[in-house]
Each structure stands twice: as structure tokens, then as C-alpha cells.
């Protein structure tokens, strides 16, 4: 897991080609003007979900097998629970088609403010969209999804 400010995003270039491309898009501010919903960058290899919601007090930890998540807060502040996936117990079955599994356990709090991002790898359990304080907050967020092994021909 990585947490940092968008202004420092170039420090992380070289981790993965798709992460490089997503971080360049984030640093350029491309996602700030996008409507809510899905925006394809390279089909299913790199895409971005623009979300708007009210944070909540509790949530379930989730993890993915095929995708890296880069979560960028565009407006507002939220808490994300984080835990190493190896310390978690699967809650139900892993949905391979949706590339998501939910887990029991508690996560350490990570606070993301406007202009900050977090990168979650398959070994990282994360519970996004949580209240950073006592009250809910309206959040606008970009979630970049980067496939670990890109499809052929894209």
C-alpha cells in the first residue's frame, strides 16, 4: 500500500507500466472534469471509476486479485481501513468475475484528503468510503483500476 500526495506521484513511476500511466493521468488532473461513471483508458486494462457518495461509519474490507486500485480523493475527506490480506479471513466466496472478495477483520485507519491518493495491491485489504470524523462527508473520488497482466493487443 502506498499513500501520498498527487504532487509526489512521479516518485512511484516504474512500479508497473499501468500504474505509471494512471499516475500521469492523475497528476495532469484529467479525472477532475470527468462525469461520474466508468472511463476507459485502455479497455479493461486501465480504467477509472468516478464516484460521488457520503462516507459511512463502517464498511467491509475488500481485496482484488487481478487489479491494482489507485484511489484519489478529488473533493472531501475519507477514512480507508487497511490491513495486510494475509491477516484477514475471507467472508464468503471470492467473486472471480467481479475480481472482489470481502474479508472479516479490522483495518488500520488511513485518512485521504483532497489531493491525496492511495495505491492498493492484491495483498492489501481495504475498506474505502468511511467517515474520517464523527460526521459523514460528501466525497468525489477517482478509482483507477490497473490490470496486473495486460490483455494482448491493447
pLDDT in tens, 2-47: 999 999 999 999 999 999 999 999 999 989 999 999 999 998 999 9
Q: What pLDDT does residue 105 have?
A: 81
Kindly tell me the burial class for residue 124, based on how many C-beta atoms sit within 10 Å of its own C-beta (0-12, 13-18, 19 or more): buried
Flag whether 26 is in a domain: yes
Residue 154 — very low, low, confident or very high, per pLDDT cuts 50/70/90?
A: very low
Is the pLDDT score of 153 beyond 60? no
Q: 59 CB contacts (<8 Å, ≥6 apart)?
A: 81, 127, 128, 129, 130
pLDDT in tens, 95-139: 999 999 999 887 899 999 999 999 999 999 999 999 999 999 999
Contact 56, 50 (CB under 8 A): no
In angstroms, the CA 72 to CA 141 distance is 6
pLDDT in tens, 45-102: 999 999 999 999 999 999 999 999 999 999 999 999 999 999 998 898 899 999 999 9
In angstroms, the CA 81 to CA 131 distance is 10
Q: What pLDDT does residue 96 have?
A: 92
In angstroms, the CA 41 to CA 113 distance is 25
What average pLDDT does range 147-152 have in this prediction?
Answer: 77
Flag whether 48 is in a domain: yes
In angstroms, the CA 11 to CA 117 distance is 13
Task: Provide the CATH number for the domain around residue 111.
Answer: 2.60.120.370
Flag whether 138 is in a domain: yes
DSSP annotation of 131: -
Structural domain total, the chain = 1
Q: What pLDDT does residue 9 have?
A: 94
Range of the structural domain that residue 140 is part of: 2-147
Flag whether 153 is in a domain: no
Pairing mode of beta strands 37-42, 77-84: unpaired
Flag whether 152 is in a domain: no
Amino acid at each position: 500500500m502506498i499513500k501520498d500526495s498527487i504532487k509526489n506521484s512521479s516518485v512511484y513511476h516504474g512500479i508497473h507500466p499501468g500504474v505509471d500511466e494512471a499516475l500521469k493521468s492523475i497528476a495532469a488532473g484529467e479525472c477532475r472534469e470527468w462525469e461520474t461513471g466508468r472511463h476507459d483508458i485502455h479497455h479493461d486494462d486501465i480504467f477509472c471509476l468516478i464516484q460521488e457518495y457520503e462516507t459511512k461509519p463502517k464498511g467491509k474490507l475488500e481485496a482484488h486479485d487481478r487489479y491494482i486500485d489507485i484511489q484519489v480523493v478529488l473533493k472531501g475527506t475519507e477514512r480507508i481501513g487497511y490491513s495486510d490480506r494475509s491477516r484477514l479471513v475471507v467472508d464468503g466466496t471470492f467473486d472471480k468475475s467481479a475480481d472482489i472478495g470481502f474479508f472479516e477483520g479490522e483495518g488500520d485507519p488511513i485518512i485521504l484528503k483532497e489531493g491525496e491518493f492511495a495505491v492498493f495491491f492484491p495483498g492489501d485489504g481495504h475498506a474505502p468510503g468511511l467517515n474520517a470524523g464523527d460526521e459523514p462527508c460528501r466525497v468525489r473520488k477517482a478509482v483507477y483500476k490497473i490490470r496486473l497482466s495486460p490483455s494482448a493487443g491493447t
